[in-house]
């Protein structure tokens, strides 16, 4: 592989040139055109630098300077999977769907690998994540091989489904770009619990296109728990029609660099979007949550609560934008981001943003940054609780607030365990 | 009653657009040739009889400016500015000191009268011999520096202030009289290459105010500068420098107006404040440049750089601004909190009506330990107005125990306007505490109904509610300005309701 010696954007473009006739759907002209368009966009824009406003606080230079290769062969041998949370799960290894590891029999909706469903995906692929939207979406479009194709028919309750993504370390830097298409018909429901694990020097660059039709509800829980060598850059594009709901809960705790970027558009009256999450970073890690909410229809509501906890020499970023268009009267938008700094070497950068063109709206945002409250610590210590335990209680209380609103017990349990596991690791490290 | 207030009441009906300062004074003026080049910079410097170091300083700024690009990140839209199609120097030509008001150019006097400056101050400002520095009866004295287009035309109460060792004069005069002070501080807060407009200002600034408050002195009266753009096709580039030495205290007011014209005029000012140990500077602005007409034609481009350095321990700089005028406002009065326990404050009301655009806010740089800052911003959008709060709170690693509180509220009147909030919070210090809140809403129907029920007209009801919305900021203004500002808010919103 000579291409692997090339780094950054040029390396990815070179591999696209080398692989384009072998990528899934290489014989479909529409997909070839889409990939070519994305390649042209990515060639023109490259990896975003800190001069780009949306990347002001997150530096991709370590990524842009490294050389990654796409995994060319299927991983053999046993794959360690996390314990099952639900009866149904779709498993992806290095971004490729593995029917042999998945359990999808009896699921009330269609869930399978995208590579096998390209014909059905044609009208939807690239509709929300256009090649010209974000450079990382372009990179994904150019090189994606597989992903979850989920289609919940109108009126169907799909129940609980797990999406497990495993990165298996081949001993050299590698990258994969799964493309997930999630579609819910009118009045459909589904709870998706996503777990990302694995290790190695890897770039995991998933793109989600989420389409929630009239009155449908998608609850999307995410646990990004890859090893501290992984770059996780995920971008979600969601479109929510009238009276539909998209709930996203993300726990980011693990990768060297996590970017959790969500673009949600409320396109019909009385649609709702909730985006909540907790992101944690310790020594040498960087976590970034960037959201953009587009209120494009009247009477919609959006709620966001994000928590950041930083230990060691780490950095946290929160950027959240709420756009209220002229026609989006009676919008109710709320956003809160709070950060807790546990170390003197941590840095938090926060940019909440409101852009409002309609007058009959109620929009607010809040941001707080600080250390653990000494008064609260003192209160607990005065009651005989040892310092470490008192700290743990306060950090837990702080983090758990982000997942309090999750109504599904299984999902809330899983998210809470992910939060607690991170804190336990900090205790072990200290 | 303050003169400015009287004017607002009496002249309100004169113009149809509601902008009462839109007159133009036909006065004999001296212009430098149109355009901008090194010769113009040299011309201005020569005209001001400046020392060589200042000319070099200007030329360096001009060289930097040529390499810079106009900032485009603000949420404002305007056609490209032709920097060569403007006069960079315009001054009233009067040479001999008049003996009485009768000899003063009547047009200049009329201007003062229209601006609401009473006769006694008019004499002082017009430089009538023997007018002395006694205030008009029954008024609290306010020392005024009036800047007409490019030059400071007069400063009142200089002698009274000099008794306390206070220097209050035009900056061009300070360059002659106190070159050591000017040289020591000029450009130390806003360097020549700070940004495009600051570089332009550094190259061609013509006048502005200079204030020095010596150690331990509490300035006995409000200091005030009155800025007026009068001539056509001119840009105004004033530069203000205020130094408060250890333990001193000063309150400074700034007001501004311009004639109504169809063309846009550029105002690119720089204000630098320096506060030493235990010093306090309070800087208040009521900005009422011509905002353009109801169709968005004309108006001032107000591209201003204002920054204060709290150099000393326990020093304090407080900015209060009421921004009602200008077609476009691009302005971020900032505080560099270097001294330990220093305090920065920013209180702002910005109104955009018709086609006005405002992109304004503040930057608070917390460098020293236990530094504190408070930001209260109230934005009101009506008509097609676009109002953006853009602010930065940066806490450095050494700012242990630093504290910031920010509140940004926006009010929307009508469905064609916009209100935006873009705060940046950057914290590198674990013991610092930062809080930010922002809300956007419109005037509640029940509030309006309550007022209407008690017999208030729709406009009065809106005025009352808007004043209530802005109360936290208006109460920070010195009394004279607070009254003027309240009226201005109401006038600025005329025609936006009902």
Give the least confident one: A4-13, A116-125, A258-267, B164-173.
A4-13
pLDDT band at B9 (very low <50, low <70, confident <90, very high): very low
Which two three-digit tokens encode residue A171?
A: 């001993």
The answer to whether residue B119 neighbours chain A at the CB level (below 8 Å) is no
Q: What is the pLDDT of residues A72-97, one digit of tens each?
A: 777 777 888 999 999 999 999 999 99
Residue of chain B whose alpha carbon sits nearest to that of A309: B430
- Domain locations in chain A as residue ranges: 3-71+84-374
Give the three-state DSSP class for A301: strand
Model confidence at B296: pLDDT above 80:
no
| Separation of alpha carbons A97 and A89, rounded Å | 11
CA atoms in the 13 A half-sphere facing the CB of A112? 11
pLDDT, averaged across chain A: 92
Cβ-Cβ contacts under 8 Å, B415 against chain A: 326, 329, 358-360
Q: Which residues have a Cβ under 8 Å from the Cβ of B450 and sit 6 or more positions away?
A: none
Nearest to B420 by CA among A357, A355, A366: A355
Nearest to A216 by CA among A109, A91, A310: A109
Model confidence at B7: pLDDT above 70:
no
What is the H or E stretch that residue B158 is in? helix B158-163
Which two three-digit tokens encode residue B10?
A: 């009496």
Give me the pLDDT at residue B114, please: 60
The minimum CA-CA distance between B425 and chain A, rounded to whole Å, is 5
Which has more confidence, B483 or B125? B483
Interface A-B: count of C-beta contacts within 8 A: 111
pLDDT band at B169 (very low <50, low <70, confident <90, very high): confident
| Separation of alpha carbons B429 and A310, rounded Å | 12
Model confidence at B349: pLDDT above 50:
yes
Helix axes B52-67, B38-47, angle to 10 degrees: 150
Model confidence at B116: pLDDT above 60:
no
Q: Which residues have a Cβ under 8 Å from the Cβ of B137 and sit 6 or more positions away?
A: none
Which two three-digit tokens encode residue A387?
A: 């310092």
Give the least confident one: A2-16, A239-253, B442-456.
A2-16
* Interchain contact, A367 vs B434, CB within 8 Å: yes
Nearest to A128 by CA among A34, A224, A251: A34
Give the mean model confidence (pLDDT) for residues A389-408: 90
Helix axes A8-19, A135-143, angle to 10 degrees: 30
Give me the pLDDT at residue B87, please: 81
Tokens 């606080």 locate to: A57
Give me the pLDDT at residue B265, please: 80
Which has more confidence, B142 or A135? A135
* Length of chain A measured in residues: 430
Which two three-digit tokens encode residue A28?
A: 């479909």
| Separation of alpha carbons B411 and B404, rounded Å | 23
Give me the pLDDT at residue B96, please: 47
Cβ-Cβ contacts under 8 Å, B413 against chain A: 359
The minimum CA-CA distance between B416 and chain A, rounded to whole Å, is 7
Q: What is the pLDDT of residues B400-454, one digit of tens each?
A: 999 999 999 999 988 889 999 999 999 999 999 999 999 988 888 888 899 999 9
Give me the pLDDT at residue B106, please: 65
Model confidence at B282: pLDDT above 90:
yes
Q: What is the pLDDT of residues B211-245, one digit of tens each?
A: 999 999 999 888 888 776 666 666 778 899 999 99
Q: Could you tell me if A107 and A139 are in contact, meaning their C-beta atoms sit under 8 angstroms apart? A: no
**From the list A352, A368, A371, which residue is nearest B435 (CB)?**
A368
| Separation of alpha carbons B84 and B91, rounded Å | 19
The minimum CA-CA distance between A206 and chain B, rounded to whole Å, is 28
Residue of chain A whose alpha carbon sits nearest to that of B439: A364
Percent of chain A with pLDDT over 70: 98
Residue of chain A whose alpha carbon sits nearest to that of B385: A357
The number of helices, as runs of H, and strands, as runs of E, in chain A is 8, 21
Query: Pairing between strand B151-155 and B142-148?
Result: antiparallel
Which has more confidence, B394 or A63? B394
Q: Which residues have a Cβ under 8 Å from the Cβ of A320 and sit 6 or more positions away?
A: A289, A290, A291, A292, A293, A304, A306, A335, A337, A351, A352, A353, A365
CA A194 to the chain's CA centroid: 9
* Interchain contact, B414 vs A369, CB within 8 Å: no
* Interchain contact, B429 vs A362, CB within 8 Å: no
* pTM given for the model: 0.87
Cβ-Cβ contacts under 8 Å, B385 against chain A: none
Residue of chain A whose alpha carbon sits nearest to that of B433: A370
Model confidence at A367: pLDDT above 60:
yes
Cβ-Cβ contacts under 8 Å, B69 against chain A: none
Percent of chain A with pLDDT over 90: 83
Q: What is the pLDDT of residues A169-208, one digit of tens each?
A: 888 889 999 999 999 999 999 999 999 999 889 999 999 9
| Separation of alpha carbons A163 and A94, rounded Å | 13
């Amino acid at each position: 592989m000579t291409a692997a010696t090339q780094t950054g954007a040029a390396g990815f473009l070179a591999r696209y040139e080398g692989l384009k006739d072998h990528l899934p759907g290489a014989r479909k002209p529409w997909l070839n055109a889409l990939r070519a368009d994305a390649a042209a966009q990515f060639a023109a824009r490259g990896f975003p630098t800190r001069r780009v406003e949306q990347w002001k606080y997150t530096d991709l230079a370590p990524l842009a300077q490294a050389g990654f290769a796409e995994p060319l062969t299927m991983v053999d041998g046993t794959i360690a999977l996390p314990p099952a949370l639900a009866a149904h799960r779709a498993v992806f290894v290095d971004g490729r769907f593995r029917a042999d590891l998945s359990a999808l029999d009896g699921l009330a909706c269609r869930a399978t690998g995208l590579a096998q469903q390209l014909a059905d995906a044609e009208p939807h692929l690239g509709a929300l994540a256009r090649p010209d939207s974000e450079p990382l979406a372009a990179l994904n479009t150019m090189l994606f091989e597989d992903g979850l194709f989920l289609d919940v028919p109108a009126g169907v309750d799909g129940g609980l489904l797990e999406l497990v993504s495993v990165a298996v370390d081949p001993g050299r830097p590698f990258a994969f770009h799964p493309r997930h298409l999630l579609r819910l018909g009118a009045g459909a429901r589904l709870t998706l619990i996503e777990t990302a694990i694995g290790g190695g020097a890897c770039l995991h660059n998933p793109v989600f296109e989420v389409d929630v039709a009239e009155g449908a509800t998608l609850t999307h829980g995410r646990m990004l728990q890859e090893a501290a060598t992984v770059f996780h850059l995920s971008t979600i594009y969601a479109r929510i029609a009238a009276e539909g709901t998209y709930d996203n809960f993300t726990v980011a705790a693990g990768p060297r660099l996590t970017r959790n970027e969500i673009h949600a558009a409320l396109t019909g009256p009385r649609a709702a979007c909730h985006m909540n999450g907790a992101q944690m970073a310790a020594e040498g890690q960087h976590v970034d949550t960037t959201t953009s909410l587009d209120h494009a229809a009247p009477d919609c509501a959006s709620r966001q609560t994000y928590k950041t906890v930083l230990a060691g020499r780490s950095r946290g970023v929160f950027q959240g934008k709420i756009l209220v268009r002229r026609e989006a009267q009676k919008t109710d938008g709320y956003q809160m981001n709070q950060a807790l700094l546990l170390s003197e070497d941590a840095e938090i950068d926060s940019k909440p943003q409101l852009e409002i063109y309609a007058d009959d709206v109620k929009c607010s945002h809040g941001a707080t940054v600080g250390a653990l409250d000494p008064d609260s610590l003192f209160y607990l210590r005065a009651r005989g609780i040892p310092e470490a335990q008192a700290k743990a209680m306060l950090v837990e209380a702080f983090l758990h607030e982000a997942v309090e609103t999750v109504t599904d017990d299984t999902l809330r349990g899983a998210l809470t365990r992910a939060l607690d596991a991170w804190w336990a690791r900090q205790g072990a490290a200290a | 009653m303050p003169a400015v207030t009287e004017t607002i009441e009496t002249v309100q009906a004169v113009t149809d657009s509601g902008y009462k300062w839109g007159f133009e004074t036909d006065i004999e003026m001296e212009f430098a040739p149109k355009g901008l080049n090194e010769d113009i910079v040299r011309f201005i410097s020569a005209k001001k009889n400046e020392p060589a170091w200042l000319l070099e300083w200007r030329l360096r700024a001009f060289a930097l400016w040529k390499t810079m690009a106009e900032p485009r990140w603000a949420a404002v839209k305007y056609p490209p500015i032709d920097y060569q199609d403007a006069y960079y120097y315009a001054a009233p030509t009067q040479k001999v000191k008049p003996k009485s008001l009768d000899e003063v150019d009547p047009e200049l006097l009329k201007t003062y009268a229209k601006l609401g400056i009473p006769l006694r101050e008019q004499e002082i400002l017009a430089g009538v011999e023997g007018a002395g520095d006694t205030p008009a009866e029954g008024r609290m004295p306010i020392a005024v520096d009036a800047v007409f287009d490019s030059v400071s035309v007069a400063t009142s109460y200089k002698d009274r202030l000099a008794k306390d060792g206070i220097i209050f004069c035009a900056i061009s005069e300070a360059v002659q009289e106190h070159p050591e002070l000017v040289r020591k501080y000029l450009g130390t807060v806003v360097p020549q290459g700070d940004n495009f407009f600051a570089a332009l200002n550094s190259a061609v600034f013509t006048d502005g105010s200079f204030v020095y408050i010596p150690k331990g002195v509490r300035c006995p009266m409000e200091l005030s500068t009155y800025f007026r753009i009068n001539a056509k096709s001119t840009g105004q580039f004033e530069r203000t420098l205020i130094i408060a030495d250890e333990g001193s205290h000063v309150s400074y007011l700034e007001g501004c107006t311009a004639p109504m014209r169809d063309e846009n005029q550029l105002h690119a000012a720089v204000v630098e404040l320096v506060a030493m140990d235990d010093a306090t500077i309070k800087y208040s602005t009521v900005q009422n440049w011509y905002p353009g007409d109801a169709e968005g034609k004309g108006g001032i481009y107000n591209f201003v750089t204002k920054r204060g350095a709290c150099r000393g321990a326990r020093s304090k700089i407080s900015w209060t601004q009421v921004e009602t005028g200008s077609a476009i406002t691009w302005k971020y009065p900032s505080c560099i909190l270097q001294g330990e326990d220093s305090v920065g404050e920013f209180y702002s009301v910005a109104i955009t009506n018709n086609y006005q655009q405002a992109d304004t806010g503040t930057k608070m740089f917390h460098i020293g330990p236990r530094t504190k800052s408070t930001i209260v911003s109230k934005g009101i959008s009506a008509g097609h107005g676009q109002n953006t709060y853009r602010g930065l709170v940066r806490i450095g690693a050494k700012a242990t125990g630093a504290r910031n509180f920010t509140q940004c509220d926006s009010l929307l009147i009508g469905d064609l306007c916009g209100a935006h909030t873009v705060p940046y919070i950057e914290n590198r210090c674990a013991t610092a505490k930062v809080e930010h809140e922002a809300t956007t809403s419109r005037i509640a129907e029940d509030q309006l109904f309550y007022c209407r029920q008690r017999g208030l007209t729709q406009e009065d009801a809106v005025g009352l509610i808007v004043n209530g919305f802005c109360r936290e900021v208006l109460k920070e203004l010195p009394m004279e300005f607070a009254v003027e500002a309240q009226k201005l808010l109401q006038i600025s919103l005329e025609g936006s309701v009902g």
